[in-house]
């Protein structure tokens, strides 16, 4: 089949869209205007409510088309449950997995075939562990995988953790397209793009390093404005929130995360971090886009940033300065150029709030976990 379309980015989070824009803006800068063909973007609703992001993207005209993609979780199809049973017998386990891999892809066809993926010269998939990865491999369509979050494999290498028993055997099955393993191990995955190879505790021959920081630094003034327009609905209101209430006042910012899963534990994490690390500062809270806690109720004296957007976008607001920022494991902290002091507490901070086994993923699989 002739490839008539240029590129499409398949995104599952706001951060994915941010990186997709960075990548597309690089193409714009490097391609002569007469040769440039705009890419498309697909926003999957499987794990994120993008709200009005699609509308704003269309207004910026960064992409040619903005698609809404209705991927379904596997539990949407009850007939698949029997193939997800855990067996100690390796043969039974692999047979079930082979069947599941094909059946999930087939179940997704009515929801994913709205986009003619086979027509694209390049497909970039963020988080190919979602059904889109199964679907593309089932349809024998080649694609590029892109890391889910900045250096996210440092703390959770999904491919290895989910398959660490008989890993080599399972990757062999995946390369034959009998089962599917994400993050560069699928037969039709061309490569797996990561920010920093040195922090990843495992090795995949398809890993390719594509640092994010140079993409940000290369943005033109006009591209920075477009980035803000894409993510921030009311930029002036946001800047008003970030103004000191009095002369000499300094902000300390806490970046929340959708972890621990238990909401009450997550609330305690926030309150304790503020008490221990933000004393003497005006508290600023940047909720994670998938964190549904109402922090204005939990912390009425804090400034809670409104809107759902990747914190990296704040780099493009001129003159912004925050004295201190605190996070647990989110690597977005490292990308906040407007912060003077950065404190990453590490995954062990969660030990006091939940069973450490629930978040020590790499460690349980025998990998060295990057605590900080």
Give tens-digit pLDDT for 206-227: 999 999 999 999 999 999 999 9
pLDDT of residue 289: 86
Mean pLDDT of 5-26: 97
Task: Please write the tens of the pLDDT for every residue from 70-81.
Answer: 999 999 999 999
Rounded Cα gap, residues 107 and 70, in angstroms: 12
76-100 burial code (b ≥16 CB/10 A, e <16): eeeeeeebeeeeeeeeebbebbbeb
Q: Give the alpha-carbon dihedral of 19, 142, 197, 167, to 10 degrees.
A: 130
225-259 burial code (b ≥16 CB/10 A, e <16): ebbbebbbbebeebeeebeeeeeeeebbbbbbbeb
Task: Please write the tens of the pLDDT for every residue from 178-211.
Answer: 999 999 999 999 999 999 999 898 889 999 999 9
Whether the Cβ atoms of residue 185 and residue 178 lie closer than 8 Å to each other:
no
Helix (H, G, I), strand (E, B) or coil at 56: helix
pLDDT of residue 367: 53
- The pLDDT > 90 percentage for the chain reads 76
| Alpha-carbon distances of 158 from 91, 147, 163, 247, rounded to whole Å | 22, 11, 8, 47
- When mean pLDDT is compared across 60-69, 178-187, 349-358, the lowest value belongs to 349-358
Tokens (6 digits) for 242: 């970030």
- When mean pLDDT is compared across 99-113, 251-265, 278-292, 344-358, the lowest value belongs to 344-358
Whether the Cβ atoms of residue 260 and residue 350 lie closer than 8 Å to each other:
yes
pLDDT of residue 95: 96
| Alpha-carbon distances of 54 from 11, 41, 69, rounded to whole Å | 12, 9, 11
In the beta sheet, which residues pair with residue 286? 255
pLDDT of residue 260: 76
pLDDT of residue 165: 85
pLDDT surpassing 50 at residue 372: no
pLDDT surpassing 70 at residue 369: no
Delineate the domains of the chain, giving CATH numbers in brackets.
5-214 (3.40.50), 234-364 (3.40.50.11110)
Mean pLDDT of 229-242: 91
pLDDT surpassing 80 at residue 360: no
pLDDT of residue 155: 78
pLDDT surpassing 70 at residue 235: yes
Banded model confidence at residue 43, pLDDT cuts 50, 70, 90 = very high
**Residues across the chain:** 372
pLDDT of residue 366: 54
Task: Please write the tens of the pLDDT for every residue from 138-188.
Answer: 999 999 999 998 988 887 888 988 898 899 999 999 999 999 999 999 999
pLDDT of residue 202: 86
- Considering only residues 341 and 248, tell me which one the structure prediction assigns the higher pLDDT: 341
Rounded Cα gap, residues 15 and 17, in angstroms: 5
pLDDT of residue 71: 98
């Amino acid at each position: 089949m002739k490839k008539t379309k240029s590129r499409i980015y398949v995104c599952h989070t706001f951060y994915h869209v941010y990186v997709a824009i960075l990548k597309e803006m690089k193409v714009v800068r490097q391609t002569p205007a007469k040769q440039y063909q705009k890419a498309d973007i697909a926003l999957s609703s499987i794990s994120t409510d993008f709200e009005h992001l699609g509308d704003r993207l269309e207004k910026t005209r960064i992409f040619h088309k903005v698609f809404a993609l209705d991927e379904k979780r596997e539990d949407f199809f009850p007939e698949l449950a029997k193939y997800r049973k855990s067996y100690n017998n390796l043969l039974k386990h692999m047979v079930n997995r082979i069947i599941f891999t094909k059946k999930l892809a087939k179940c997704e066809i009515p929801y994913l075939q709205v986009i003619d993926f086979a027509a694209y010269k390049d497909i970039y998939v963020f988080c190919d562990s979602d059904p889109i990865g199964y679907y593309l491999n089932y349809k024998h369509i080649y694609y590029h995988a892109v890391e889910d979050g900045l250096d996210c494999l440092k703390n959770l290498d999904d491919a290895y953790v989910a398959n660490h028993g008989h890993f080599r055997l399972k990757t062999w099955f995946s390369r034959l397209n009998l089962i599917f393993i994400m993050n560069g191990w699928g037969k039709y995955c061309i490569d797996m793009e990561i920010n920093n190879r040195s922090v990843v505790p495992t090795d995949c021959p398809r890993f390719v390093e594509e640092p994010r920081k140079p993409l940000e630094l290369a943005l033109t003034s006009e591209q920075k404005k477009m980035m803000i327009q894409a993510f921030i609905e009311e930029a002036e209101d946001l800047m008003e929130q970030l103004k000191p209430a009095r002369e000499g006042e300094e902000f300390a910012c806490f970046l929340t995360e959708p972890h621990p899963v238990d909401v009450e534990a997550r609330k305690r994490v926030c309150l304790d971090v503020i008490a221990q690390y933000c004393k003497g500062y005006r508290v600023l809270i940047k909720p994670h886009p998938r964190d549904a806690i109402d922090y204005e109720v939990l912390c009425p004296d804090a400034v809670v940033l409104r809107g759902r957007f990747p914190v990296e976008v704040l780099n493009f607001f001129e003159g912004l300065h925050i004295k201190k920022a605190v996070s647990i494991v989110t690597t977005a902290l490292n990308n906040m150029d407007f912060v003077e002091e950065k404190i990453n507490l590490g995954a062990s901070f969660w030990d006091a709030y939940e069973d450490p086994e629930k978040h020590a993923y790499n460690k349980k699989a025998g990998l060295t976990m990057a605590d900080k």
